[in-house]
Each structure stands twice: as C-alpha cells, then as structure tokens.
A and B are shown apart, each in its own frame.
Chain A
Amino acid sequence: MSRSLDNDLLAHLKTENPDPVYNDISRIFMDVPDDELLEIEFLGKSHPLQPGVNYLREGKAVAIPKLRLVQAFCVARQILKNYQNKNSPIGAYEAKAATAVLLLMDPEHLTAANTRKRLLMPLLETSEPEVGALRQEKQFVDSLLTSRLYRHTKSLTLWSHRRWLLRQFATHDMLVDPRHDIKNVIMTAGMRHPRNYPAWHHARFLLDFCPQLAGSVAADVKEFCLRNHTDISCWSFLSYAIKAIDDKQRRREICSSLLMEILGITESLRWTNESVWVFLRNTAATEFISEQQFESFLAINRKLASVTPKDSDRWRILDGARRWCDENRIIPNPDLAGT
C-alpha cells in the first residue's frame, strides 16, 4: 500500500468523526485467535464499503480500507502521545490497542513496538508471570509478518520485536518451535516478499535456539528453495542450516545428497540463475563433496553452458561458478575419494 494520500482521501479525513473507526479497528487486534493467524489486507477505492462499515471480516481474513486505517491511525497517535504524558488517564489496555493500530499503519513505528514491550514486562515480572500475554503478542506480530502487507513482511522493527519476544519465551521456559516457525512464519513472509533478508536472518536466530534440528530444517528449506529458486536469501539460509549440523558425518551425508538432488533438478529444469549457482558452487567447493560428485557438478555446469549463448549474463554465471570453485575448493579427505 502506498503511503501517500491523494486529495480525495485528505478531504474525507477532514469531514468524518474518526473515533468509531478507531474503536472498530483497534478491537480486531485486541482479540487475536490463539490457534490461527489473521490474514490482513488493505482495500483501495475499488472496494468501497457501506457507510458505518469500517472493515470486512470472514474468519481469519480481515480487510481494512485505506481511508479507515488512516483515520484510526490519527486517533491512535493522539492516544499514544497522551499516554506518554505524566499522570495520563490512558490505561494499559487503551495504550496497547493504540500501538496495534500504529504498527498496522507503520510497521517501523519503533515507539509503538517498544511501548508494547514496556506494557508486557509488568505482566511477566511477577511471581506468576502471565505467559499467555506473550503467546498473544506472538500471534499479533506473526499476523502482521505473514499477511499480504508489503512493508510489514520485511519490517526490521517487527522482526526485532519478534526476536525480543522469543527471548522472553526462553526466559520464562516457554516452548520455542523453530521448525514450526520457519515453515509457517519465515517461509510465508519469504513468499510474500522475496529476498526477505530480515525474515531469513530471523530464521538463523531460530535455528541457533535448537541447532540439533538443523538437518530437518535443511530438508524443509530445500523444498522451499526449489519452489523459489531465484531467491538468494533462502539458498543462503540453506547453506547456513547445513553448516549448523553438528555431527560431521551427518553433515557430509546431507550436504552431498542435497547437492546431488539439486544438481539433478538444475540440469533437468535448466536453471542458470545466480542464486542457484551461488549455492551450488559454495556447496560443491566444501570438503564434504567427493571427487565424483564434484565431477558431476562440473559436467552439469558445462552442459548448461554449452546450450547458453556465450558471454551472455547466464553464461557468465555458469562460467563464474566453475572458476570460483577452481580458486576456493577445499579438497576432500582422500579416504573419501570416489564415494
């Protein structure tokens, strides 16, 4: 959604009372379901709603008109400003509702995100911490990160807030399921916004929680990479997951089987794009790949180069991958040669 406001929108803003709009929209986020994430979208002028109807809802799908969002944002901004004043009558519930609307409009609103942290802390610093509040917060943040909201899926503020949240989970002995989060939150955000560095950076953080899951996570991410083969961020994370496998023998097995599988598909589907070949060359050059497997890598590289116009961008990617390996390859242990 564009952040600019056109003249019609500005004219509307001046004439209507925004309070009922704010009340309706803020309420959506004070009651996020426990078992599913909201799918939020913004509606433009092509989808006018009847007067008095401030949003659409069908199960987990929520649609908010751009005009209504801006009206609600103006009210929310004032509430937060009042809350920050000394002796403010604004309570925690109201402040939290306002911050939800602020982040919906502006995912980089750091004050709103930090206010939410400050509102959570008193609930946790007691003899019986309200861990349900942490779960609810995760549902809220994950809804924003996985919805079809272009700026939210790649918001550094939201991903940073999620990182803080999961540290609180760990502090209060709550279960963090990296594999589930990578499949359901990271991959969804990665699809909504390709080459989503903040999302995949968060995936590294998640994997560091439970490195023993690296092998399973690598298998999951490999499938995502095959479906999104032009996305360098997921291929980079796949390399990271492979390196995180602690047991060296297992790392060798997974690394070499992934390489051969991906090489096979690359040859068949004639992939010559940079993201795939950066992954292939990085993997082929490790000490986990036998001579025979390396020869397969070279053979497929040469075969694709032979059917690609010489000196074209694609040809240079293939040629560059092969030459990079010449310079950077770690020769494997001779005991494993030929396996």
Chain B
Amino acid sequence: MRLYYIGIIQNESKPGTELCAEKDLTSYSRWTRASYEEFMTMFAKTVAERTRPGQRQDVEQQDYTFHAYGRTEGVCGIIISDQQYPALVAHQLLSKVMDEFLAAHPRSSWSAGQSIAMPELNDYLTKYQDPHQADSIMKIQRELDETKITLHKTIESVLQRGEKIDDLVAKSDGLSNQSKMFYQQAKKQNSCCVVM
C-alpha cells in the first residue's frame, strides 16, 4: 500500500492551482520520474476541478486511486495512492490535512493561487506509508461515513461528456513534450506500469 502524492488545489476558479504538494517518486526510475511528477500534478488538478464543495470522491485509474475531498472554502485536498491503500485511511488523512491547512492559512494567503509552504505534507507522506501509522490514524480520527464517498472506476467518468483524457494530456500546459510522448508510448506498450 503506497502513497504517491498529497496536495491541496485551489479549485474555486478554473483552471485549478496547486497551492502545495508533496510527491513520493521513489517508485519510478531516474529518467521517468520527472514525467510522473508532472502527471501527478496534472491529474490531481483534473480531479480537483471536478470535485464539488463538500464532496468526497475516489477515482480509480489503472493501478492508482485519486482520493478527493472538496472543502466549501474553495480548496480541494487530493491524495494519490495505489489501489491497495485503504480509502478510509486516505480520507482520514485528507480531513486532517485540510483542517490543518485552513487553520494555518487564511483565505487571503491563497485565494489568488499563491504557493503555500506546508512542510508537514512531506512528513505525512512518509509517515502514512507505514501500515502501523495508517492503523493509528484510523483509531484516533473521527468516524467517516464511507457511503458518502463516491467511487468512480475511471478518470473519464468524472469528465464532461465529450472530454477525453488523451485530449487533456495533449493540451496540458503542465506537461513537457517528453511527458506527452512518454504517455503515448506507455499506452502503446500496454505494460503493467502504464502512466496514471
């Protein structure tokens, strides 16, 4: 069970802005890491932009799950994990992260999309990789109503009618040409580790 990304995205206005994020790229090889980093941000923003205030949702895509928690304040927390990571643990962690972020940073400090330093994200990303710590957060955090978390089996199911992932990738400003080519190549090879 792995965590790859914890981030907070300002999703009140479109396109969304990544205010702060930490990524664990150690699963990826040296020369593909940069592409995976870009894809994490791009897909996190894609999901956040399609998460309503007050909504919790999980979006599965290949070997990954995007856990999203939209707050009414206009920000959305995103965790990217593998599909083995317990969804409830991810959402407990999202509750914790969003509460701490909003308590520490007034709206004026991020409403225009300014980057925010939140060093705790790196600690949480490391800490909650450990199943023992995941176990402890389940025990101490408040009860979550699992039935209120909407589950989508693909990213395309959160897109609007007619929108395609391939088009979003091709048009994205946040992806280098190399990353876009890598995406096409990974799709063709049908390997077990297809990008996102």
A residues at B contact (CB < 8 Å)? 1-2, 39, 41, 43-47, 56, 58, 61, 63, 148, 150, 226-230, 264-265, 268-270
Q: Is the CB of B88 within 8 A of A270?
A: yes
Please indicate the chain B residues that have their CB under 8 angstroms from the CB of A43 in the complex.
Answer: 31
Q: Is the CB of B181 within 8 A of A45?
A: yes
How far, in Å, is B130 (CB) from chain A's closest CB?
Answer: 8
The CA-CA distance from A268 to B179 in the complex, in Å, is: 39
Check if B111 is an interface residue, CB within 8 A of chain A.
no
Q: Is the CB of B1 within 8 A of A229?
A: yes
Q: Is the CB of A268 within 8 A of B135?
A: yes
Check if B170 is an interface residue, CB within 8 A of chain A.
no
Q: Sort A-B residue pairs by CB-CB distance and give the 6 closest, nearest first.
A: A46-B181, A61-B30, A41-B29, A46-B182, A226-B131, A268-B135
Check if B108 is an interface residue, CB within 8 A of chain A.
no
Q: Is the CB of B192 within 8 A of A150?
A: yes
Please indicate the chain B residues that have their CB under 8 angstroms from the CB of A56 in the complex.
Answer: 31
Tally A-B pairs: CB < 8 A. Answer: 69
The residue in chain A whose Cβ has the minimal distance to the Cβ of B178 is A46
The CA-CA distance from A306 to B89 in the complex, in Å, is: 20
Q: Is the CB of B182 within 8 A of A44?
A: yes
The residue in chain A whose Cβ has the minimal distance to the Cβ of B134 is A269
The CA-CA distance from A227 to B27 in the complex, in Å, is: 14
Q: What per-residue 1/0 map shows which CB atoms of B136-147 lie under 8 Å from chain A?
A: 001100000000
Known pairs A41-B30, A45-B185; list 17 more (Cβ under 8 Å): A1-B191, A2-B189, A45-B181, A46-B179, A46-B184, A47-B182, A56-B31, A61-B29, A61-B30, A148-B28, A148-B29, A150-B192, A226-B132, A227-B2, A265-B131, A268-B138, A269-B134
Please indicate the chain A residues that have their CB under 8 angstroms from the CB of B178 in the complex.
Answer: 46-47
Q: Is the CB of B31 within 8 A of A265?
A: no
Q: Is the CB of B31 within 8 A of A269?
A: no
The CA-CA distance from A163 to B4 in the complex, in Å, is: 35
The residue in chain B whose Cβ has the minimal distance to the Cβ of A265 is B135
Most chain A CB within 10 A, of B2, B131, B181, B190, is at B131
Q: Is the CB of A41 within 8 A of B185?
A: no
Q: Is the CB of A269 within 8 A of B131?
A: yes
Give the residue of A44, A150, A228, A265 whose beta carbon is less than 8 angstroms from that of B185: A44
